[in-house]
Amino acid sequence: MTTGFYWDERCFWHGGGNYALTLPVGGLVQPTFGGLPENPETKRRLLNLMRVTGIDRHLSMRGGEPATEAELARVHPRSYLSEFRSLSAQGGGELGLRAPFGQDGYEIAALSAGLARTALFDVLTGAVDNAYALSRPPGHHCLPGFPNGFCLLANISVAIEAALAEGLTERVAVVDWDVHHGNGTEAIFYDRSEVLTISLHQERNYPLDTGDAEDRGAGAGLGANMNIPLPPGTGHSGYLAAFDRLVLPALEDFRPDCIIVACGYDASAFDPLAQMLASADTFRQLTARVKEVAEDLCDGRLLLVHEGGYSEVYVPFCGHAALEALSNSPVTAPDPMADTVATRQPGPRHDRMVEELLSDLEDLFRNP
């Protein structure tokens, strides 16, 4: 089995300006050493860990060409692309909310989308069995004309539209387990029946006003959008239960030609932007589950596209665990925080709350 891994050094060169966590520096907001949470270190340290353990030798390490303007324009208005390109050439700035960029930001974002596009095409044509795209900047929050949440172009949506246009696929499922709601992907395909969008996220984290379970799609897309808002502290067993009881049945009903995961690691126990208590093993098991259902439904055609995750120390172990499951590699990176995360898992009272929520969601999703 061949697992493709798509990356480019230039994606690490994207800069986010003078921020402290998610706030622009100024007034009473003091600078921090780390700056914007979406920085290259989480991704670069994942790649470094892969090289140190040797799992990269079990992957087909590849690159990709930037998405073309024509490909981007299937999702984003040309007026937005033109403004983005112009500001990028002038040294950068910000066109939306919490999505700053520096010099060459447009070109780097187009490359990030191109990595996702290339990886998806290779999966669909059989050049690789499955794939991982280390895309940066991320994309799942980006609306057609409004970048937000660190996302400048809708990487996964651009890849899907390109594949649909080329006749490489007819039905695509997107499973978003980033801790934040995949509002951009939802908005782009909300009234479309050929793309199933599923988002597991911490309720009311980001954005504050999207991600309700009652938002099921519209028109031809009614029932093809599924939001699974989870309470803070859901933890390992809660994530797996939500996946088994809600995500897997939806995939089996939809029967996609391929599955794409918006693969964020910010549900981890050490992320500064969430409070969900997932472990590296959570992501290993989620990947194993989606890989198994992809093998059953669509000949294993599966792509993981990197999204969020802001713990520089812990993201590499989460990403490595996902790659272990995706590639069937015997190479492991033992989780140094496994015992700590296990001790911090929620107790029976919280588990009962999650159980009640999942039961309510099962009832809701039976009646779109």
Does the pLDDT at position 133 exceed 80? Answer: yes
Active site residue ranges: 141
**For residue 59, which of 136, 129, 117 has the smallest C-alpha distance?**
129
Whether the ω angle into residue 137 lies within 30 degrees of 0, i.e. cis, is yes
Does the pLDDT at position 367 exceed 80? Answer: no
Which pLDDT value is given to residue 313?
97
Please write the tens of the pLDDT for every residue from 204-216: 999 999 999 999 9
The residues that bridge with 130 in the sheet, in sequence order, are 3, 302
Which pLDDT value is given to residue 310?
97
Please state, in angstroms and as integers, the Cα–Cα distance from residue 345 to each residue in 65, 142, 167, 287, following that order: 42, 32, 45, 20
Which pLDDT value is given to residue 368?
62
Which pLDDT value is given to residue 319?
98
The residues that bridge with 102 in the sheet, in sequence order, are 92
The residues that bridge with 261 in the sheet, in sequence order, are 175, 304
Which pLDDT value is given to residue 32?
83
Which pLDDT value is given to residue 34?
79
Which pLDDT value is given to residue 256?
98
**For residue 212, which of 192, 183, 241, 238 has the smallest C-alpha distance?**
183
Which pLDDT value is given to residue 243?
98
Which pLDDT value is given to residue 58?
97
Which pLDDT value is given to residue 109?
98
Which pLDDT value is given to residue 23?
87
Q: Stretch 22-49: mean pLDDT, rounded?
A: 92
Which pLDDT value is given to residue 119?
99
- The domain ranges of the chain are 3-366
Give me the DSSP letters along 176-187: E-SSS--HHHHH
DSSP annotation of 12: G
Which pLDDT value is given to residue 18?
85
Does the pLDDT at position 352 exceed 70? Answer: yes
Q: Is the separation of the CB atoms in 352 and 231 below 8 Å?
A: no
Does the pLDDT at position 78 exceed 90? Answer: yes
In percent, the amount of the chain with pLDDT more than 70 equals 100
Q: Stretch 257-269: mean pLDDT, rounded?
A: 98
Considering the segment(s) 3-366 as one domain, its CATH architecture is: 3-Layer(aba) Sandwich (3.40)
Which pLDDT value is given to residue 1?
86
In percent, the amount of the chain with pLDDT more than 90 equals 94
Which pLDDT value is given to residue 17?
81
Please write the tens of the pLDDT for every residue from 28-38: 999 888 789 99
Does the pLDDT at position 61 exceed 90? Answer: yes
* Separation of alpha carbons 213 and 137, rounded Å: 27
Which pLDDT value is given to residue 118?
98
Which pLDDT value is given to residue 73?
98
DSSP annotation of 151: B
Residue 93's SS3 state is strand
* Separation of alpha carbons 253 and 142, rounded Å: 28
Q: Which helix (H) or strand (E) holds 196?
A: strand 195-202
Q: Is the separation of the CB atoms in 320 and 280 below 8 Å?
A: yes
Please write the tens of the pLDDT for every residue from 92-116: 999 999 999 999 999 999 999 999 9
